[in-house]
Structure 1
């Protein structure tokens, strides 16, 4: 799998022949061993997530019915339906849960989870409100509402309006009333606005329950008073709906309120079901608002998912009737005892923490007193803990945001596991208290104005962020090192130190050297030398050399003339043994480029390369490389005719897309994505024009398109003529062209032009060696930059005659 090697992701070939039985079992056993269990000493204790071990009754029932593969498509809660098999089991389980939630009559069905159930609720609500004459439908919820509400609103193309989370962390009835007043004022007298109000019974990050009955009362008053609004009320009870009826039956979050129209439950959370099982419930007469005829199958479909697992219905039935109310009460009494044990452990470890057990729910919310309230990373990772910033009113009346962590006392959690966490928490907080906070040290006066930014950064974007101390050795993965534990350099207190470099006689040279620690210049991330505004050479330490995808040392020429779309930055990359890896020509800004990379035996042209360090969570960073089109030309030592061997189209460049993943999606360092990949081969000595006539044989239908840093959406046309590769960009829908021309023999000449030094044992280097190396490289690499200056849209890469002559003389 390529993505496990270099961060890029492409499809794998479908196998032609089956794996032998023993090999199939070996692979499955290996993957199973990677999936954590629940009680083994090495299994993680999932304190921050609402998940638990499924009950044996459910697993047994699922296994018994899975072989017959029943499909419970449709809804089975109506009179005369659901009379046989797993459909009857679904009907009985769903109606029993509706009775638990005080519904006199209800319809519903099993979903793939509460996300799907919320989508179903908002869909039924939208359609019902439109049937009531609403031309506009708005979803109204708390800012702390689960993200599935925003996702459902986006899918259904509904406007989402969020009420700010106040000090109670609840959606208060008064806030709903005020928001409805505002919507009524926005709606003309002859128009009607529909409002889907979403309440929550068990917020994921607090466990708290909205005053559903009070909100329903506001909606009832609106309905009775007329006006230009119609309302629908959906309750997200994914976490509380299977708990509160057994621990706090007096809490009226359910169908006891006439203005609750639909509810979603998540039995695969506290309900002890395996994934994935949710339940959607609504009042009679509403489900038809989601009905779609299915004439090819002979029924009417009122669900989101269509086909559903009958075996899952059997599993849910086994718990509803095999545990029943008595069994669930016992389960959740134990959970509340464990919840209180958790709360006591947190108070013991941090007496000044704010600790808030959720009434009737199995959640503890804690705001720790030290620093910014963030738990040590190792502890948070080990126990799968997540922090959320919430509004807070302190005892002295001051208000502001504060970081809180949530802890789930789920049915699988044992007192022994809580005690183990208590010891780990106490030890971690004690260590944190003994370790002074590493604020960034005050920087001495900069030796030159040009170096102000250097203390926080370096020429290479990757070195804006570094591994924290103790997690820097890739060979220690996964115990200490991870591909995504990068943090901001300045935030670690490791801003780069810089000082002038003087000559042998002590006179200033205009150069500066820099490193996180100039007393041990090659032992921590990198050592660099720079002529500010002109060039910089950086040598990586041992650990960074293991990590680097582009060599062990980098020489960048970026001045004295500044980078422009016509004048590139030129970068030479060297292997640890001192041999040249590649020379890169970057046209664009620091992050977004059209780029040419020249190697000894191949050329890579990157159109629309966007490189960024991305904050994942808190001070945790990853790195992302997004390229619209990458053309890879492999050279052979002959005159072979050029040919395109592969075109892989991963995405359509003509459709705008997000260039990088969302912050929470990063799992690895780096992440690499390409719209299109083109692989070519050609003989280095090929001189004739290719293609001779007609369109480029691209290997697939349609032109090659890319999002260029220089011209936005372009057609890309590669050709070979006169012993050089030319890649021409032609703007789509507007004027503008650009072309990159690379002699096929350029890569073979560059190693002789740009000699290196061995850096594989950086701790043996002397800074003077690196300074002298930079002085040798600049007169050779600088002219390559000027030769690549765009002229009339043409960017021709070459070795200037004066540089070639100097190389021959030396």
Structure 2
């Protein structure tokens, strides 16, 4: 697997030899077993998605032609084209669908789906409007329009204006009229691509395409600086409405509809991937590109396309025909009625909104906030969207609605099974995202002590995010993965009723050990302080020491316990935050020096057997949905130096260049993309080895010139922005210089090769492998002993004239457990 233990992903080597036949078959069988069946009661029914079981006719036809590997490159709907083989099958299927869409004459072709078809439509529209003299072209659609429209506009470098959704949930001509008037006032010749929808994904509704077309006709007939192109996204309704509600005028019967997309792989019973792009005659030339090396003109987006897909679609158009589709979707509408009945039986106060002619049912549940339990949503693939709604008092507010797709593969048992599951899930009260109903602020005020300001400051300064979010109860043991534990299911601690408790610890007589102020201890539960995520000791605005419980020790990336010294890091520039991390047996694991803010820092990590320089490390907790969190660690450059015995000179092992640091990019993924913990990304990784006893001098060019082919080693520094990275070895130290590319800023990080071994000898801890056997006084005493030494280490690493040199300070004494006052370890 390409996912590495550190949370990043790299490529696998291409296999040199073939897997044995039986092993190959076994792997494929295992992966097939992970893909849900269509009619199995134990697998998800996908009630929230527009997808269905492919029809046997389509599967048979695709299999017949796939071995011949026909390429249907080009467009085959013109006179004289598409006369043989799968190209003839595509021509006949596309023209029949054009007739279904009430076109007298049309051109079109098969696409990979509506995303590609929308891109094709907006491309033709842009080029046609530019040919009409419009220097500016933009797209206007409803805010509820499918994301593929905004994506196509971005690809084509077009402006995109999303008109706010109103309680009607459709694109209203009056709103378009206002937008057109505003554009007219600019006094510039402007092309406007209007995108209407026939079957919104989240509501199933259809825009008043006939009224929008009439508006465009009136504006076109009047003196205007605007020119129009009208594209209809009929991905979800185009293969249903003609058979269930043929009077809904969404198609080419309207003079000012220019192009349209259908998705037969959704409601048309086709396997993925199959879409259809249609446009009026004479428009495809606006997307024509000559292909002289192949001897034809290409008017498509993708070029080569599968002829087997054309055969499959043809088999349904002519093998099912209108009669077959009509029977199929009328059955879906009957089943949708039954779905509404079982929902009302479980939630009599729910609001049900069936979409006219479509197989979609939109439901506003009467639960708190309209939420459904997480397990139910996950099993049935249900998605909720906040939509504008007029409440009983006539006020327009947002309300959460879930959409349900009743598709041809579904049966009465599917619907009745969902009804039973829904009734059981709603029997117990739930709050947002399926959690137990949260404690109100008034209830919390009477049951929980207020969180001290000092602890709030710790949340803002500690590098550890465990203060904020935790796994829910019953989902905390990683050994129970994947049955209960989830890498990405983190909840707000306060919402779980597990706010950290805080108590003052009796003052120590040793003011130096205590750090000059009172100590606090904190944990979710003082009755079992080491059994619920963590136990901590805090000297406000100075340091904290945390010991993790058994489950967190299994998961932790930084050991079983860690001391964080953040004194002065907020107030004094170039004072690092220092983390000292320990293994469960009390042995030193690593020291981390972080220069920067809490999130974004340049960092040095010191281990006994290695040194790691991190340039531009950016850590984030990401709210995925509701109060469900994940974590992301993005590092521009990581320099990994492995220390070996002896005095061997440095040797470059590997340079992995994942991306170009000079190109701007999004540091972290979008919220909806997080699936596992942790998620890591590196621009560049450089791996070296060197002997601990090496005292010679080796420069950057000697180390990297050949690997970088003469180019610079670049990274996005937290302090300097884009910077050249210049690692070298001199006098028993690793020295990493950073020079700002577009300025004069520079600094260097310098560390002794033997510092990790010294820290390993001097910074001993206490055994925490069985944390439930510890007493708070053990950890407090350890913290009091460790802090003065760690504070000297922190101060020794303060930036002085551009040099950051973590080292063992003169006069520092170790923190051995045997010397800890009051320790029972």
CA apart distance, 1:581: 1.2
Q: What do the CA deviations read for 1:488-541 (whole angstroms, capped 9, x no partner)? A: 223333221111112599x99711011122222112111111010111011111
Q: d(CA) in 1 for partners of 2:568 and 2:519?
A: 14
CA apart distance, 1:565: 4.6
Q: What do the CA deviations read for 1:29-74 (whole angstroms, capped 9, x no partner)? A: 1111111111223321111111111111111110110000000000
Query: Does 2:729 align with 1:720?
Result: yes
The change in CA–CA distance for 1:808 and 1:427 in structure 2 (over 3 A counts) is closer
- Corresponding position of 1:589: 597
DSSP-derived class of the 1:5 partner? coil
DSSP-derived class of the 2:592 partner? strand
DSSP-derived class of the 2:708 partner? coil
- Corresponding position of 1:646: 654
Q: d(CA) in 2 for partners of 1:504 and 1:260?
A: 81
Query: Does 2:478 align with 1:480?
Result: no
Q: d(CA) in 2 for partners of 1:192 and 1:561?
A: 56
CA apart distance, 1:447: 8.0
| 1:399-410 alignment runs, 5 A limit | 399-410=396-407
TM-score when scaled to structure 2? Answer: 0.95
Query: Does 2:520 align with 1:512?
Result: yes
Q: Which stretches in structure 2 are left out of the alignment for 5+ residues?
A: 820-825
TM-score when scaled to structure 1? Answer: 0.97
Could you tell me whether the CA contact under 8 Å between 2:458 and 2:541 is conserved in 1? no
Query: Does 2:37 align with 1:37?
Result: yes
Root mean square deviation, CA, Å:
2.0
Could you tell me whether the CA contact under 8 Å between 1:339 and 1:362 is conserved in 2? yes
- Corresponding position of 1:468: 472
- Corresponding position of 2:358: 361
Could you tell me whether the CA contact under 8 Å between 2:563 and 2:579 is conserved in 1? yes
CA apart distance, 1:580: 1.4
DSSP-derived class of the 1:234 partner? strand
Could you tell me whether the CA contact under 8 Å between 1:455 and 1:496 is conserved in 2? no
Q: d(CA) in 1 for partners of 2:571 and 2:482?
A: 40
- Corresponding position of 2:96: 96
CA apart distance, 1:436: 4.3
CA apart distance, 1:115: 0.2
CA apart distance, 1:596: 0.5
CA apart distance, 1:461: 2.4
The change in CA–CA distance for 1:255 and 1:781 in structure 2 (over 3 A counts) is same
Q: d(CA) in 2 for partners of 1:2 and 1:552?
A: 27
The change in CA–CA distance for 1:377 and 1:444 in structure 2 (over 3 A counts) is closer
Could you tell me whether the CA contact under 8 Å between 1:462 and 1:613 is conserved in 2? no
DSSP-derived class of the 2:302 partner? coil
CA apart distance, 1:18: 1.3
The change in CA–CA distance for 1:4 and 1:477 in structure 2 (over 3 A counts) is farther
Q: d(CA) in 1 for partners of 2:451 and 2:415?
A: 54
- Corresponding position of 1:121: 121
Could you tell me whether the CA contact under 8 Å between 2:459 and 2:465 is conserved in 1? no
The change in CA–CA distance for 1:446 and 1:802 in structure 2 (over 3 A counts) is farther
1:418 to 394, 415, 418: 415
Q: d(CA) in 1 for partners of 2:394 and 2:379?
A: 35
Count of residue pairs brought into register by the alignment? 806
CA apart distance, 1:466: 1.4
Q: d(CA) in 1 for partners of 2:611 and 2:728?
A: 13
- Corresponding position of 2:212: 215
Moved more, 553-562 or 688-697: 688-697
- Corresponding position of 1:438: 439
- Corresponding position of 1:380: 377
Q: d(CA) in 1 for partners of 2:305 and 2:655?
A: 38
Moved more, 491-500 or 279-288: 491-500
Q: d(CA) in 1 for partners of 2:47 and 2:155?
A: 31
Q: d(CA) in 1 for partners of 2:476 and 2:564?
A: 25
2:794 to 765, 773, 785: 785
Could you tell me whether the CA contact under 8 Å between 1:457 and 1:464 is conserved in 2? no
Could you tell me whether the CA contact under 8 Å between 1:462 and 1:623 is conserved in 2? no
| 1:713-752 alignment runs, 5 A limit | 713-752=722-761
DSSP-derived class of the 1:801 partner? coil
The change in CA–CA distance for 1:317 and 1:193 in structure 2 (over 3 A counts) is same
Moved more, 205-214 or 476-485: 476-485
Q: Which stretches in structure 1 are left out of the alignment for 5+ residues?
A: none
| 1:621-640 alignment runs, 5 A limit | 621-640=629-648
Could you tell me whether the CA contact under 8 Å between 2:488 and 2:630 is conserved in 1? yes
CA apart distance, 1:226: 2.8
CA apart distance, 1:455: 7.7
The change in CA–CA distance for 1:83 and 1:752 in structure 2 (over 3 A counts) is same
